[in-house]
Amino acid sequence: MRFLDWAIVAAYLAYVIWDGIRMSKHSGTKEGYFLAHRSLPWWAVGLSVMATQLSAITLVGTTGQAYSDGMRFIQFYYGLPFAMIILCVTVVPFFHRANVFTAYEYLEKRFDVKVRALTSFFFLISRGLGVGTIISAPAIVLSIVFGWNLIATIFAIGLSTTIYTVFGGVQAVTWTDVKQMFVICFGLAACMIVIVSSFPADVSVADGLRLAGSLGKLDVVDTSFNLQEKYTIWSGLIGGLFLMLGYFGCDQSQVQRFLTAKSVDEGRTSLLMSAFLKIPMQFFILLIGVMVFVFYQFTAPPIVFNAAEVETCRNVSVCQHIEANYRDAHAVRREAAIAFRPELPESRTAYLEADRRFNETRKEAVNFVRSWSNPSFNDVNYVFPTFVLQHMPVGVIGLIIAAIFAAAMSSISAELNALATATTIDFYRRLYAPEATDAHYVAVGRISTFIWGIFACIVAIFATNLGSLIEVVNKFGSFFYGSLLGVFVLAFVVRRANARGAFFGLLFGITSVWSASRYTNIEFLWFNVIGCLVTVAAGYLISLTLRGEN
Amino acid sequence: MDEEKLDTFWNKVYIAVVITTFVVVTAMWAFSRYFSS
């Protein structure tokens, strides 16, 4: 990185932190600190909804996922527009009219305090773990850039974000989200232009897409129905629908976004923004990952993108031999890629064979590196940052790093603010100090934000080797979202449901998801369906059985 | 305070969301097929 890159990163970070802290003047009351006085316009809330979901993991993890696995991941989002419609009809008007601070506060009005406390507790666990992985993604990038210790980097990111969230509250979260969305879009567009312009002179964008297409990297619809297949149209439409309903309708980090809207209509419009824009935007982000893959058809990629892992065995003679084989295999594939003509079957066959040989050689190399270093290391998260640092021009590197950093900080701040809100409103105010002053609740909110920031940093340390970061977050979520959604279905839809049914139904739901993950090979998106259905069924039956006792 | 829009308005918006989603997914599928063949 050159001086210009550093200047861009430093200027953006300084602006975001200053912008967040100056919002503290609007955050003197609990209504202002946690809900921005319910005064924000739909477009700001809508951009904040998208920015909260589109974290640094989306840039780092999704592009890496597209590089290695193609665009199949897009199917994960197919249920989102339908989830948004359902939420606009049900949750948005319910929560707005109930005048609540948290989604779980509504459950006390419908059931009792135990159901509220239990759902809020599960939210705190799932999001507390989730925000840790959101911190670890940019920490990986920065540890590569600076050569810093990863743990020190995690604390540097987590604590700096925590500081401005502590002061600015939800106002800071929303308005920094709006600004970072523009920076992210600008960074992504610049990134795509640079990648495409880096192809060899005689290779067009269409040629590159045909190479990727011939290897199945552009597949966006898989109609096979297999519960053990991670991304199919069915897991996206059904499992993804339940996950999105749980995430946007029961997760305080998203519910808090539309609770800050001026009215029910503005809340609805803010959610529908994602319904229209999320799939095209995710398609574009995945396409960047595919274009990085195409780029590396013509330029030799590193054996392992995580340079630190390769260093452990670089001086071993066998490693040099493997590296030579790897370079040869890439040279053969490069020639086949340049000669590729989709209308000629023999050229296609030659390219596919060269790609197969290259992958075998790489697999052998990766296994060797694993045998010398950490056997569980994951390379997916290192693809995009390594590419940016090695191949992007001066200025664009700084812009993309700033976009990753800012995206992470805004998402982290939204999560921390939601965790602090649930802690303060659902536990501290409800169970310990119901009659305290606004200033007291704001002070407790700020202390909670700080504590959750420290907790998230500790989780982040353990999240760096858990696999693809985007999947780690969704797996954490899928463990709880379905069951939490089930409780809200009981509240909104099942008239006969009572408090005891909802409470034990939730416990049954969580247990069923744990059993499914422990004893079956069912992929994580289906956990949302299982958790929701078991919670609703168990909650309904228990409500019928114990009706007289409630 | 602004009056809430009627349900008939929102129903049209929801239908537009469904149609748009269908069109977008179909377009992505066509894009994928075009470059895979």
Per-residue pLDDT reduced to its tens digit, A20-46: 888 777 777 888 888 888 889 999 999
Over 80: is that where the pLDDT of A148 sits?
no
CATH assignment at residue A155: 1.20.1730.10
- Do both A27 and A70 map to the same domain? yes
Under DSSP, is residue A261 helix (H, G, I), strand (E, B) or coil? strand
> Which tokens is A327 given?
């370079």
β-bridge mates for residue A40, sequence order: A261
pLDDT at A159 over 60: yes
The lowest-confidence range among A152-156, A251-255, B17-21 is A152-156
Residue keyed to tokens 């295999």: A329
Establish if A518 belongs to a structural domain. Answer: no
Average pLDDT over residues A235-242: 86
Which has more pLDDT, A11 or A55? A11
Alpha carbons A218 and A283: distance in angstroms, whole number: 10
Mean pLDDT of B4-32: 92
pLDDT band at A465 (very low <50, low <70, confident <90, very high): low
**Looking at A418, A441, A458, which one is the last position of a domain?**
A458
Does one domain contain both A419 and A368? no
Structural domain count, chain A: 2
Interface mutation vs chain B, best among A207, A269, A276, A291, most B CBs within 10 Å: A276
Whether residues A367 and A397 share a domain: the answer is no
Q: Which domain holds residue A332?
A: 321-375
Nearest CA in chain A to B7: A89
pLDDT at A550: 45
Query: CB within 8 A of A504, min separation 6: which ones?
Result: A538, A539, A542
Instruction: Indicate whether A107 and A206 sit together in one domain.
Output: yes
In this predicted structure, the answer to whether residue A234 has a pLDDT above a threshold of 60 is yes
Q: Looking at the domain assignment, is residue A502 inside a domain?
A: no
pLDDT of residue A452: 95
Last residue of a domain, one of A458, A488, A504: A458
pLDDT grade for A156, boundaries at 50, 70 and 90: confident
The answer to whether the CB atoms of B25 and A85 lie below 8 A apart is no
Instruction: Name residues whose C-beta falls within 8 Å of residue A36's C-beta, 6 or more positions apart in sequence.
Output: A26, A169, A170, A171, A174, A260
The reply to whether A60 and A106 lie within a common domain is yes
Listed range (A198-202, A329-333, A368-372) with the worst mean pLDDT? A368-372
B17 vs A84: CB contact, 8 Å cut-off?
A: yes
**Higher pLDDT, residue A451 or A52:** A451
User: Residue A525's pLDDT band (boundaries 50, 70, 90)?
Assistant: confident
Residues A279 and A163 in one domain: yes
In a domain, A305, yes or no: no
Q: pLDDT at position A492, please?
A: 87
Does any CB of chain B come closer than 8 Å to the CB of residue A200?
Answer: no
Residue A236 in any domain: the answer is: yes
Q: To probe the interface with B, which of A37, A92, A219, A278 has the most B CB atoms within 10 Å?
A: A219
Residue A360: both structure tokens together: 């075998």
- Nearest by CB: A283 against B4, B28, B35: B28
Rg of chain A over Cα atoms, rounded to whole angstroms, equals 24
Residue A83 counted as domain residue: yes
Q: Is residue A76 part of a domain?
A: yes
Residues found in chain A: 550
Residues A120 and A254 in one domain: yes
Say if residue A324's pLDDT is above 90. no
A268 and A353 belong to one structural domain: no
Residue type, A430: R
Percent of chain A residues topping a pLDDT of 70: 94
Q: What residues of A are in contact with residue B22 (Cβ under 8 Å)?
A: none
Q: To the nearest whole angstrom, how far is the Cα of B10 from the nearest Cα of chain A?
A: 9
Pick from A206, A218, A280: CB nearest B32? A218
Between A547 and A23, residue with greater pLDDT: A23
A308 lies in a domain? no
CB contact under 8 A, A279 and B5: no
Res A145: pLDDT: 61
A60: confidence class by pLDDT, cuts 50, 70, 90: confident
Query: What pLDDT, in 10s, does the model give residues A217-229?
Result: 999 888 888 777 7
Q: How far is CA A260 from CA A171, A175, A355, A422, in A?
A: 9, 12, 51, 15
pTM of structure:
0.86
- In terms of domains, do A419 and A288 share one? yes
Q: Answer whether A84 touches B (CB < 8 Å).
A: yes
Please give the pLDDT value at position A471: 63
Residues A358 and A394 in one domain: no
CB A243 within 8 A of CB A481: yes
pLDDT mean across residues, chain A? 86
Residue burial A197-221, b: 16+ Cβ < 10 Å; e: rest: ebbeeebeeebbbbbbbbbebbbbb
Query: Are A366 and A396 in a shared domain?
Result: no
Last residue of a domain, one of A431, A458, A485: A458
The pLDDT of residue A521:
80
pLDDT at A305: 81
Task: Say if residue A94 is in the same domain as residue A133.
Answer: yes
